[in-house]
Amino acid sequence: MSLSIEEMASFCKRKGLVYNSAEIYGGMAGFFDYGPYGVELKKNILNEWWKYMVSSRQDIVGMDGAIISPEAVWKASGHAENFSDLMLVTEDKSYEVRADVFLEEQLKRSFDGVSAEEVNKLVEEHKLVAPNKKKFKKCESFNLMFPLKVGAAGTAAYLRGETTQMIYLNFSLIQNDARMKLPFGIAQTGKAFRNEISPRNFLFRCREFEQMEMQFFIKHGDNKKWFKFWQAERKAWYLSLGIKEKNLRYRAHNKDELAHYAKQAEDIEYNFPFGWKEIEGVHDRGNWDLSTHMKHSKQKLDYYDEETKERIIPNIIETSAGVDRNFLMFLYDAYDDDKERGNIVLHLHPKLAPIKVAILPLVKKVGLKEKAEEIFNSLKMNMVCFYDDSGSIGRRYARMDEIGTPYCITIDFESLTDNSVTIRNRDSREQKRVKIADLVSALDLS
Ligand code: GAP
């Protein structure tokens, strides 16, 4: 796994996976667009997560909340005041950087949860200056929320910094309408926005990104049990989609590192070429969120416990994953520069592969094209297909390997008489002859 993050970004651009957003205008750090194959892979990650976390469970329901919400929401949640990172800025403001990121680069160790005093001490001790040799001012705190004004009246609002707040605001409505009883979960996927000081490492740290979050509401006292349960479940999901176990680990947050809402937090980390980095967090948020929104909105967000005949404020175990970081991880884990084949192969799990099957008439001759189109039309409602009749068959196989297509179907002259085609397996390169009528069952996408 020696591919650098710059090489990965360039591979993604070449293969129609991810582009820098607004590149023809020079782009802007931390914003990306997904291309034709990238959007399929991203949707597949989201769909697999939804199936695992929502559709296949009786105790979790979904929702889809607004991206923009009034200032009051983010004041109550604590984000307007506390959702910040430490920043180092030069005296002449010519260079700014997130303090822990800068220290990690300079001193080659992790500085998660470092305090402002420690940053100032380290900068002085090691005589650290900006890359342009300018001196830093004292370290300062920078809020990551994106404020904006809504309507002609200019009502103060924010772009959401995490998707989950909308779940808390709708807790009582959903609990009543879906008749949920503790313990139960509410899940949501969607965009989140953070004005990151140092967006870097391609999709790893963006300013606009997507989250897959689930809040599991429980009775106070059951926190440890459910924290452990969701830790195991989330790791199992990654393994079920083919991530190599040796590349995953859990790391507990130390006290200084905990977000303002968290009582306990553990990150699932992936072994990227730029180090072990967080792809998902499992958090014990206690009853902080529901309590603070009850206090500020003066509305009831509690729960009637039929056993004890009391009204209680549920505790929350949260699982919070980033889609873009997942995307990057699945690509790294699948990436194989196969010297023997002479091309890259993405060994993506078939459920995640952007294209499931390529339909390749061996030559551009009358009869084969029509047969290939007939097969395309018979499969297209079952799976994402791709038709390609240009170039040598070897070149076409290579193009499909490079975007992770698990199967290629070739149609030759015999197909016209025996109604059979050849299926080529991406990973083993094995080829087998199959009746066209049996194709759907022969293509194993599980
Ligand atoms: N609701 C809790 C929460 O948002 P978080 O640890 O701040 O917790 C959860 O974020 C996940 O969101 C992270 O594990 C990561 O995958 C993703 N994420 C956070 N900031 C990101 C960024 N700037 N760019 C890309 N993904 C990010």
Closest residue by Cα to atom 16, ligand 1, is 322
The whole-chain average pLDDT of the chain stands at 96
**Mean pLDDT to the nearest integer, 42-52:** 98
- The pLDDT-based confidence of 236 (bands split at 50, 70, 90) is very high
Q: What is the pLDDT of residues 48-73, one digit of tens each?
A: 999 999 999 999 999 999 999 999 99
From 211, 249, 260, 327, the mutation candidate for ligand 1 (largest count of ligand atoms within 8 A of CB) is 211
Read off the DSSP letter of residue 136: B
Span 225-237, mean pLDDT? 98
Q: Is 420 helix (H, G, I), strand (E, B) or coil?
A: strand
Which pLDDT does position 260 carry in this prediction? 86
Q: Is the pLDDT of residue 154 over 90?
A: yes
pLDDT reading at 36 higher than 60 = yes
Q: How far apart are CA 372 and CA 87, in angstroms?
A: 58
pLDDT > 80? residue 1: no
Q: How far is the CA of 198 from the centre of ligand 1 (A)?
A: 14
The answer, yes or no, to whether residue 364 has pLDDT greater than 90, is: no
> Which residues on neighbouring strands pair with residue 88, listed in sequence order?
97
Tokens of 169: 């605001």
Best probe residue, ligand 1, of 325, 326, 327, 329 (max atoms within 8 Å of C-beta)? 325
pLDDT digits (tens, 9 = 90+) for 388-441: 999 999 999 999 999 999 999 999 999 999 999 999 999 999 999 999 999 999
CA-nearest residue, atom 18 of ligand 1: 322
Helices (H), 95-156: 99-107, 116-125
Q: How far is the CA of 440 from the centre of ligand 1 (A)?
A: 38
pLDDT band at 2 (very low <50, low <70, confident <90, very high): confident
Closest residue (by CA) to atom 21 of ligand 1?
205
191, β-bridge pairs = 210
Which atom of ligand 1 is nearest the CA belonging to 280? 14
Rounded to an integer, what distance in angstroms lies between the CA atom of residue 202 and that of residue 18? 10
pLDDT, tens digit, for every residue of 97-118? 999 999 999 999 989 889 999 9
Q: Whose CA is nearest to atom 1 of ligand 1?
A: 162
Output the CA 321–ligand 1 centroid distance in Å. 7
Task: Count CA within 13 A, CB hemisphere, residue 77.
Answer: 23
| pLDDT number for residue 129 | 96
CA of 208 to the centre of ligand 1 (A): 11
Predicted local confidence at residue 249, as pLDDT: 98
- Tell whether the model's pLDDT for residue 356 goes beyond 60: yes
- Taking the alpha carbons at both ends of the chain, their separation in whole angstroms is 26
Q: Are strands 343-346 and 310-312 parallel, antiparallel or unpaired?
A: unpaired
d(CA 62, CA 56): 12
Q: DSSP label at 71?
A: H
Pocket of ligand 1, beta carbon within 6 A: 162, 164, 194, 196, 205-206, 209, 211, 213, 278-281, 318, 320-322, 324-325
pLDDT reported for residue 366: 82
Measure Cα distances from 159 to 69, 111, 167, 198, 353 in Å: 7, 28, 15, 19, 32
Top-tier CATH class for 355-442: alpha beta
pLDDT for the residue 188: 98
The correct CATH number of 5-70+161-334 out of 3.30.2350.10, 3.40.50.10860, 3.30.930.10, 1.10.760.10 is 3.30.930.10
Closest by CA to 182, choosing from 50, 317, 303, 318, is 303
Question: What whole-number distance in Å separates Cα of residue 178 and Cα of residue 168?
Answer: 15
Mean pLDDT of 139-146: 96
pLDDT at 237: 98
What residues pair up with 147 in beta bridges, in sequence order?
158
Taking CA atoms, 59 is separated from 55, 101, 180, 217, 234, in Å, by 10, 39, 7, 10, 16
| All structural domains of the chain with their residue ranges | 5-70+161-334, 84-143, 355-442
CA distance 410 to 404: 17
pLDDT digits 0-9 by tens, 413-422? 999 999 999 9
What pLDDT, on the 0 to 100 scale, is given for residue 259? 87
Looking at the CA of residue 283, tell me the nearest atom of ligand 1. Answer: 2
Q: What pLDDT score does 398 carry?
A: 98
User: How many Å apart are CA 18 and CA 9, to the nearest integer?
Assistant: 8
pTM above 0.85, yes or no: yes
Length of the chain: 446
Q: Which atom of ligand 1 is nearest to 196's Cα?
A: 23
Find the 206 Cα to ligand 1 centroid distance in Å.
Answer: 10
Q: What is the pLDDT of residue 385?
A: 98
